[in-house]
Structures are given as structure tokens and as C-alpha cells.
Amino acid sequence: MNILKSGSGLRGLLLVAGLLCSLGAVAQNRTIVVSGSVKFDYPDAKMQIIKHDGAVKSVVAEFDLDGDNNFRYEMEVQEPGVYVLDCKKWESISFWAEDENVHVRFRGMDTAKIKIKNPAYYMIEKSGPKNELMNQINFERHRNYQSMIALNQMLYRVKYLDDSSKKVATEAVFSFLNDDYSSRIAHLADVYHDRTSAVVLLSMLDADRESARVEKIVASIKKVDPQYPPLVKVLERQKADRENRERVKIGAVAPEFSFPAPDGKLLGPQSFRGKILLIDFWASWCGPCRAEIPNLLDAYEKFKSQGVEFMSVSIDKGTKEWHKALEDEKMPWPQVLAPNSGNELMQQYQFSGIPFIILLDRDGRIVAKHLRGEALVKAIEQELRK
């Protein structure tokens, strides 16, 4: 009774009630409007909203333009987070879906005679604080990508550099651009740590080098909701990734798996104990993977009689594409197909790009990773000398 009679006490109760309502609202589903326009339509495809959960991609919504090339979709946000608005397979933009409407004006289909997939930067217009951060992230990604393309083309055109010098220069430039990009992301963490969309920065920061910034983001979001679902999911995934990285570090026994070969027989690293084993993670749709196969064929012919085994693990979506590639490439060593497009396998072995080639010793321990070309041959030779 005394509290109710006190003005400050009443204000306190109202404040607590407001906070509880706010936290409850975060957990509830919300409906946002995703709208905009497309200058040049591409009738063969539709607008899509896509959600990436780790390596798993799912289409959340699909819709089309009206007669004036505008679009409007009411999206029920069951899970706050980063989504991708795909403009008819030509362009896309990442946005944070939670409680802010999203409006984007796309150019759309490339109308040039020679079409080159080089995406433009688009802004989420009239954005709130959460998508203000997404605009900044999208811009930094765009500029980093454009800088890499431009500098790579400049180095390629330099006539007085031989191929070896160009490679060294390119690696140095890319290293600088990666460091520059990391510093820009760190700056965004300093400026925008106080909004829930800062969750996305946790996966972009180096957890060891930027531990203070990571802790600041986590603390800021926990003030809003200690059990904020996107934060919980990211932290759980990062914990799992740390554990997986320990399992695939140099000297660790390679995680076991059993996947089907074309004849249905199940094979995995454990099937080759007592032999040096080279594992090539690849896919039929991967150009660099197919380009590496001649190197693998040469290495296989050189080492197959010296107790060295090869195994290729495909992350193809379906067996049809996989079988066609096997017929084309004619790789004489064991081949297996990972389920679910290799999503669980990629997390287990901690790789996101292919080809990913590793070497195991006779006890199944990882002795080398990220092998290509001559480095692949040298790693096998070194292991044979032990």
C-alpha cells in the first residue's frame, strides 16, 4: 500500500512493467513489411526471402512484382536474425528482421550485352537502428569485394611482373584488404554494439583478438534480453565450432564418418588405417575443385604404390550431378557422397570453401591441411620420409 501511494514507487512499478512488456515483445512473433521496387524485371524468377542457418539455406518466402514493378510482402518474423532479400537471382541485400520495416529499390536484371555478375550496393531505406548497422555491414562487404576485384585486375595487367611475382603481390594485397576489413568491422562493433542486430558482428570478429568487443556486444544484448534467441544460438554455435576446431587441429585424429560409395559401400577415414590417406572434399559444381583434379591424378599415379591412399568426399546436393562428374573425371580412387550437401561435415571438419584437401598419417592423425598443387606432393613426400 505504501508503494502505491508513493509517486516514485508507482513510477518504478510502471518502469518494471514496461520493461517486462518490452522483453516479452522481443520474444513474440512480429510482422514487418518488406517492400520496394525493381527497375528492370526478370519474369523468369521471383523475389525471395532467404534464411541461412549455418550452411543450411532455406527459402522463407517467395513473391512477385505488381504491374508497376513494385513489391510488398508482410513477413511474420518467427526468429529474429539476418535474412537475405534476393532480387530475382540478379541482386540481393542482407537485412535484419525483427521489428523494422525494410524498403529497397533494386535495379534488377542486367541489361548490358555482356553480363557480368558484379553486384551493386543497395541501401535499406528509412531504416531503424538495427538495419542502420546492416547498411554499414553491407557497404563494408561491398567495398571490400570491389577493392579485391579492382586490385587483382590491376596486378594482372602489370606487364613487368612475372607470374610468381604477381602471385606474391596479390597475396600481399589480399592480406592487407582482409586486415583493413577486419579493422572496419571492429569499428562497427564499437559504434553499434548497443542494438540486437550487433549479434551478426559476433561471427565477423576474431573472438581471441577482439574479446573485449565481443564481451561488450554480448553484455549490451543481455541487458535487453538475457536469453535473446539469436544471441544464444550464435554463442552455442561458436562453442561447437571451437570444439570442432580442436578436433581437426594438426596432430588430432580425424573425425570419423561413413558415407556411401557409388556401389553403396560405406567408407570413411577409419577404413584406411595403416595407410597414409589424402582426403579431397569437393563438389561437381566447384570450378577450382575440378581444376585441381589433374594435380590429384598426377599425385595418385606417383604415390599409389607407396602405401598412399586417396579418397574424395563430395558435398553435391544430389547423386545425379555427382555420378556425372565421376564419369567425366574418371578418378580411380574411392569416392563417397556426404549427406545433406555436406552441411554437418563442413562443421565437423571446419571448412567453408572447397577444394579442402587434408593429409592423414597411418594412425589417422591430421598432418597437413589446405593442400593444393605442389604443396600436396611435398606434404605426401614428407610423410613418407617419417
What is the residue extent of each domain of the chain?
Answer: 28-111, 142-247, 259-384
Least confident among 6-10, 145-149, 190-194, 317-321: 6-10
pLDDT at 273: 94
Does 377 have pLDDT greater than 60? Answer: yes
Does 18 have pLDDT greater than 60? Answer: no
pLDDT at 16: 38
Does 141 have pLDDT greater than 90? Answer: yes
Sheet order of strands, 70-77 included: 70-77, 30-40, 102-108
pLDDT above 90: percentage of residues in the chain? 70
CATH class of domain segment(s) 28-111: mainly beta
Closest alpha carbon to 52 in 234, 248, 284, 192: 234
Residues linked to residue 53 through DSSP beta bridges, in sequence order: 56
pLDDT at 28: 55
Does 245 have pLDDT greater than 90? Answer: no
**54-108 pLDDT per residue, tens:** 767 899 999 999 999 999 999 999 999 999 999 999 999 999 999 999 999 999 9
Sheet order of strands, 81-87 included: 56-63, 47-53, 81-87, 91-97
The conformation of residue 125, written as its DSSP 8-state character, comes to B
Closest alpha carbon to 48 in 134, 123, 106: 106
Do residues 309 and 277 make contact, with C-beta atoms less than 8 angstroms apart?
yes
Q: For 147-153, what is the mean pLDDT?
A: 85
Does 380 have pLDDT greater than 60? Answer: yes
Report yes or no on whether pTM surpasses 0.75: no
pLDDT at 10: 41
> What's 173-222 look like in SS3?
HHHHHHHHHHHHHHHHHHHHCCCHHHHHHHCCCCCCCCHHHHHHHHHHHH
Closest alpha carbon to 71 in 102, 44, 96, 94: 102
Structural element, H or E, at residue 48? strand 47-53
Q: Which amino acid is at 13?
A: L
pLDDT band with cut points at 50, 70 and 90 for residue 26: very low
Secondary structure (3-state) at 109 = coil
Least confident among 3-17, 60-74, 172-186, 346-360: 3-17
> Taking the CA of residue 256 as centre, how many other CA atoms within 13 Å lie in the half-sphere pointing to its CB?
8
- Cα angle vertex 147, ends 234, 140, to 5°? 35
pLDDT at 115: 76
Looking at domain 259-384, its CATH superfamily turns out to be: Glutaredoxin (3.40.30.10)
Q: Which amino acid is at 54?
A: G
pLDDT at 55: 66
Average pLDDT, the chain: 88
Q: For 339-343, what is the mean pLDDT?
A: 91
